[in-house]
Structure 1
Amino acid sequence: MELDTAYTITVLVTMFVVMDPIAIAPVFLALTPGMSNAQRRRIAWRAVSVAGFVLAIFALAGEAVLTFIGISMPAFRVAGGILLFLTAIDMLFDRRTKRRKDRADEDDHDDPSVFPIAIPLIAGPGSIASIILLTGEKPGFEGLATVVVMTVFTLAVMAVTLQASGQLERIGKTGINVITRLLGMLLAALSVQFVLDGLAAFGFGPGAG
């Protein structure tokens, strides 16, 4: 039971940090200028629903796709860990938020719920890689159910955060930067652990058997 609890916490922290609801809030505001609270609510829930559908596909079939194209789970764990580490570096140096704002500026659609909010801001390379990595960490129904439940919970927090984005502005840019950097440090540590687990499966590093 202790292992399950540790795994659940790892899944929750990983998905929350990778999706980073706090940092997306200012971008969401930039994508919905002049809209009413009701319109923003609809866009937030639509974006979260689309992102959830995309992530569910990779949770259910991601490892099967890797097997089909001949990529082992340990190899993907190392590659995914490196990808998440690069994401963490971007968070620590505030490059991730700048890219999100650039995508927002390039978007010409009246309804930004599917693109760019759902894809790639919420269901981007980092969150997709995390879903596949986490389901591979604990194969079977229990592991899949844990990942799905924690992802749904994170998406629900995301929806609430987006709807409250106007209030979140009150903490200011400095407050958002502090939170983003703390989350980036957590993600860096988690990504290194993914790499170490992958290397251990190949017989390298601690835990190699």
Structure 2
Amino acid sequence: MSGDFLNIFTASFVTFFVLIDALGVAPIFASLTARGNAAYRRNMAVRSILVATLIIFGFAFFGAWLLQQLKITIDAFRAAGGVLLFLIALDMVFEKRTERRETRADEYLEEHETPEDVSVFPIGIPMLAGPGSIATAMLFMSESESWMEKSAVLSAIGANMVLCLLVFLVASPLVKAMGESVAGAITRIFGVILAALSAQLLIDGIIGAFGV
């Protein structure tokens, strides 16, 4: 494994780890699947990861083509992505993102008294494959100049999906062990990191667009 591959993989993995926030989604997954048995929870974990992976990979491969058809430059997309990620970061720091996830989960539970398929909505979309992760996958793949770089990005996405699956499979005991305070602190730390990443994307997009 070359140094360039490892560097790109590490940077991409950290970015998607912060964006997807498996530890933050785990309590929501646990609450949505609490009414089912162990087999149901395993099935929902596997299916939600497959759904999210297919969506993110789909935009990663065809996102650049879509931008080209819409005549959107990569610098404009980079700047817009920076703004979008910064808004997500603010939500994470002030726990608005967690509140929305919990509200969405509560509304779903109120409407469905018996366990149903939650793998597509709301777990797969938008909790895992949300606007931030989709936009970032498109951006990273568009910026990759070789298949080595693209494979590093895709490997990082795949590794995060595997990590999410492992977290979901142990969601109930994990949530009990962490507690709400620890989970909230982790989400805030991720938010600060994401804010710094988003600011860099915005700066790079402005510099590229205006040739500063």
TM-score range, shorter chain: over 0.9
On the 8 A contact 1:40/1:163 being kept in 2, the answer is yes
- Name the counterpart of 2:169: 163
TM value normalised by structure 2? 0.92
TM-score, normalised on structure 1? Answer: 0.93
Could you list the per-position Cα deviations for residues 98-153 of structure 1 after superposition, in whole angstroms to 9, with x for gaps in the alignment? 11111112224511111110011100111101101111222332222111111010
2:152 equivalent in structure 1: 146
Aligned partner of residue 194 in structure 2, secondary structure: helix
Deviates more, 1:163-172 or 1:2-11: 2-11
Cα separation, 2, equivalents of 1:52 and 1:4: 21
Aligned residue in 2 for 1:16: 17
Do the aligned partners of 2:8 and 2:153 also contact (CA within 8 Å) in 1? no
Q: 1:193 aligns with which of 163, 186, 200?
A: 200
Code of the residue aligned with 2:148 in structure 1: it is E
**Equivalences for 1:1-209 in 2 at 5 Å?**
2-107=3-108, 108=111, 110-169=116-175, 170-203=177-210, 208=212
| Structure 2 unpaired stretches of 5+ | none
Amino acid paired to 1:177: G
Letter in 1 for 2:207: A
CA distance in 2, matches of 1:160, 1:4: 25
Answer whether contact 1:59 1:144 (CA < 8 A) is retained.
no
Q: CA RMSD in A?
A: 1.4
